[in-house]
Every structure is written in structure tokens, then in C-alpha cells.
Structure 1
Amino acid sequence: MSGWALIRIWTVVVYLFMFLPVAVVVLLSFNASQFGAFPMTGLSLRWFGELWANEAILRAFRVSFLLGALTAAISTTLGVLAALALVRYDFRGKNLVSTVLIAPILVPEVVLAVALLLFLRFLQMPKSFALLLLGHVIFTLPFVVLVVQARLVGIRRDVEEAALSLGASPRQTFFAVTLPLLAPAIFAGMLFAFTISFDDITGTLFWKPGGVETVPTQIFAMLRNSISPEINALGTVMIVLTVGLPLLGAAIARRLGARTR
């Protein structure tokens, strides 16, 4: 057997090891039986109905959607402004600012979570939803900056200069020329920020105040008691959201990119 054949076999084994448990969770979420075991006794949407009737889970979804939407809005706004400053302008300390903005990606999230928590305790600030939002913005901002920056580098400067030479103000040039060309990257960065925030658990466990649960922390709390079929259904919903949204966003961004060419 050749080396390439062994590599292919090993690749398949690794992918099966990674994704087979996910497939099992999705399959068991449609199990009619209360006990998650094979062979399945039948297919049913019963556990998704149980999710809809569970007020704690619905409340966690509301918190996660609100937190994700606010994180995406703030991170996208700051990320676009930061990318414009880093690409279009030269100023003292530019490399330092770029390093500081990208640093949260390089630091392990648990270290970042503990550091922010200790810093706010030093300032004698209690845990709050604002702290949770701040932590998510810090963690997602670098992704928006990198995505928008990569797109902005590819936009020719002379296109903007042509608009300026024809009498457009810098503000009009940004909204009429630069922003439409940046739209696919902005949309992709926004989806990245929302998905990462919605799916985060490590930092959320450190930053969230008492009585506030997001969907990942709600799953974690439910697992402390037992593995119920509701958890499988909730996991399936999370998989659909965290995988489907980026795929949908990529398709929309590709279409927007094709229109702006």
C-alpha cells in the first residue's frame, strides 16, 4: 500500500472520529424513545416540541440572539473603522495598534477570560450583561478586522480618488464607492462575530452574571444532571445555526461580490 493511500485512509478515520459523534447527536434528536440508545424505536419530533415548551431554553435563546446581535453590530462597526485606519492611513504606532487588535486571537480564550475577570474585579466592577458583551466584542473584533482588512487591501485606491476628483466629498465617496465594495466582507465579518458569540462557552462561563444563561451554558447546565433527549435536540438546533449561518452568509457574500464587480 502506497504512502498516499495510507494518508487518505488516515484522513477518513480522523474525519469520522470528528464528525461521527455529531451525526449521532443529530440522529438521536429524532429518536422517539426517551432513552438514547440503538436501535432506535422510531422517528419523532417530540423533543423539539419539548424544547419549544421549555421556558429556560427559550430564555437562553433570547439571551444568545440578543448578545450575538449586539456583539455583531459593535464588532462590525469598530472592525470596519479599524480596518480603514490600518489600510488607508499611516500614523505613529500603527504596527502596535494592529498587534493589539489581533492579539485576542493569539491568546487562549480561557486566559483572556480570566484576565478580563480579574481586571474588572480589581476595578471592583461586578459581573453584568455589559461585561459579557464587552468580552464577546473583544474576542470577535479581530475576526472582523482581518476579514474587512483583507477585502480593503484588494480595493484599488484610484477608484476612490476618481470619485474625489469628480467632486464627491470623502463621506460621499465612502458611502457610494468604498462601502458597496466592502459589503461582502462586512457581511461576512458580521456573521463571523454573531456565530462566534452565539457558540461561545468558555468566556461566557467566566463573564456572565448569575441567572443569565446562553444556549451553550444552558446545555452545560443540563449536562450536569443527565443526558436527556432534549439536549440532543438542542444540540441539533445549535449545529444547524452555527453551520448554516456561515454557509448562508458565504453564499450571500459571494453574490454581493459578483454584483459589485
Structure 2
Amino acid sequence: MKETGLGWSVIRLSTIAVYLFMFAPVAAVMLLSFNSSQFGSFPMEGLSLRWFVELWHNDAIIRAFQTSLVLGALTSVISTTIGVLASMAMVRYDFPGKRLVSTALVAPILVPEVVLAVALLLFLQFLSVPKSFPLLLAGHVIFTLPFVVLVVQARLVGIRREYEDAARSLGANPLQTFREVTLPLMLPAVLAGMLFSFTISFDDITGTLFWKPGGVETVPTQIFAMLRNSISPEINALGTVMVLITVALPLTGAALARRLAARMRGR
């Protein structure tokens, strides 16, 4: 018993040490974003929102935010639409080459992102296709689509076909059955996949560095460009905003998914 208790204590301490190692730098960045001094050092001289104000008046960062929001929104809409249709085909229908299509849909998540980014860039250069925003959007869709497919498929497998068969037996056509029965039942997974794809697109830097055209910057690439020149206190404020966005979105999505699931069970 003592050995077992000692083993669990070691596991707990190791887990705490790993989490501290991962999140302590993030906590330090967030704390320094409220530092009134220009130099990031401890102990801090005072608390201030100065760098958030500077951030708001930085035109380059505002443009990068707008680009990231538009790119993330388009990526989430396109990835979710394709992912829902592909999941329906994979789960509800049998057709030749189904396993091959399923593997192709999930393959991008198995390939290192830098390899995928370089491969797509070289392929499009071979086709003499220049870098553009549509190319950047296509790259983000390819990278985020597997996450949507996996989440929606997991939910769709748990939805019994009897509900759809009952709707069709009452005279509903396939489109009505999907709109009135299937989609509401898998809506929590659809919203989760949409938030996943938006968050991944919003945070992505590896693929974006390869695919973005000149003069277009997203928030991660803007941070990277700022770090190459100098370490500005605005970077700490921008990092805090990024952390809050990427943490708040999944939490909001999880809360909405639980509420929708509870409402469905109540019916």
C-alpha cells in the first residue's frame, strides 16, 4: 500500500511539474502584459493597460487581426460544410473506394504540418500558381478538415438510423430528414468542429508562413515578424489577447454543446 501511495505521489508531482513547465511561460507573458514599464522584468514596477492601448492603435496588428478573423471564419465555414457532408457519406452510405476516401480525409492530420505546407507549396509552384489569399484559405481548409470529420463522425455514429427511417416513413424526403432530424441531433458536434477549425486556423503559423502572399499577415505571423526585429511589450499584450481568444472559444463551444445536448435529451 505504501509503495502504491508513493507511486501515485510521484505521478502527481510529475504531472504538476510538466504543467508548470508548459504554462509558466504563458502566465509570465500574460503578467508582463500588464507591466507599466517598457522592460519586461520582475518585480514589476506597476500595473497598467498601456500596452493594450498601444496595441489597439497599431494599424499593422489591427490588419493582422482582421485577416485572421476573416480567414478563420471562412475556414471554419468551408471545413464544417465539407466535413458534415463527408461524414454523412462515410457513415450512412457504402460506395466503391470508401476506405480510400476516408483515409484521404484524415491523412493531413497524420502528416507533419511543415511537410504538408512545403508539399502544397511545391505542387502549386509546379502548376505555376502564385501565392494568394485563396491558396492560404485552401491550405487552412486542408489542415482543419480532418478535425471536423473526426468530431462529426464520432457523433453521427451514435445517432440511430431509426430516427431518420421514421421521418422518411412519414413522408419526409432526404433533405427534409437531414434538416429536421439528423442535423439537430449532431449540431453539438458540428459547432465543436466549427470552433476547432476556427481556433486552429487562427493560431496557425507554420503553414501560413509558406502559403501567405506578400503583404498579408495574420496575428501569428505578425508576432513572428515583430520578434525578429525587437521584443516589444506590445507582443506580451498581443499574446494575452491570443490566449484569451483561443481559451474562451473552446470553453464557449463546450458550454453550448452541453446545453444543446441537454435540450435534446429534454425533448
TM-score by length of 2: 0.97
Counterpart amino acid of residue 181 in structure 1: L
Cα offset, 1:3, TM superposition: 2.1
Q: Is 1:181 paired with 2:181? A: no
Q: Which deviations, in whole Å up to 9, do the C-alpha atoms of 1:106-148 show, x marking residues without a partner?
A: 0000000000000000000000001000000000000000111
Q: Separation in 2 of the partners of 1:15 and 1:56?
A: 34
Classify the secondary structure of the residue corresponding to 1:127: coil
Among 217, 231, 235, the alignment partner of 1:231 is 235
Q: Is 1:67 paired with 2:71? A: yes
Q: Separation in 2 of the partners of 1:12 and 1:49?
A: 35
Give the match for residue 165 of structure 1.
169
Among 73, 81, 87, the alignment partner of 1:83 is 87
Give the match for residue 24 of structure 1.
28
Q: Separation in 1 of the partners of 2:146 and 2:13?
A: 36
Give the match for residue 194 of structure 1.
198
Cα offset, 1:178, TM superposition: 0.6
Q: Which runs of 4+ in 1 moved over 3 A?
A: none
Q: Is 1:133 paired with 2:137? A: yes
Q: Separation in 2 of the partners of 1:233 and 1:52?
A: 10
CA RMSD for the aligned pairs? 0.8
Q: Separation in 1 of the partners of 2:173 and 2:121?
A: 44
Q: Separation in 2 of the partners of 1:143 and 1:123?
A: 28
How does 1:206-245 map onto structure 2 within 5 Å?
206-245=210-249
Among 98, 110, 130, the alignment partner of 2:102 is 98
Cα offset, 1:44, TM superposition: 0.5
Counterpart amino acid of residue 65 in structure 1: L
Q: Separation in 2 of the partners of 1:6 and 1:182?
A: 41
Q: Separation in 1 of the partners of 2:217 and 2:248?
A: 23
How does 1:240-255 map onto structure 2 within 5 Å?
240-255=244-259
Q: Is 1:8 paired with 2:12? A: yes
Give the number of equivalent residue pairs: 261
Q: Separation in 2 of the partners of 1:260 and 1:7?
A: 39
Counterpart amino acid of residue 247 in structure 1: L
Counterpart amino acid of residue 3 in structure 1: G
Identity percentage over the alignment? 78
TM-score by length of 1: 0.99
Q: Is 1:36 paired with 2:32? A: no
Runs of 5+ unmatched residues, structure 1: none
Cα offset, 1:169, TM superposition: 1.2
Runs of 5+ unmatched residues, structure 2: none
Q: Separation in 1 of the partners of 2:176 and 2:10?
A: 58
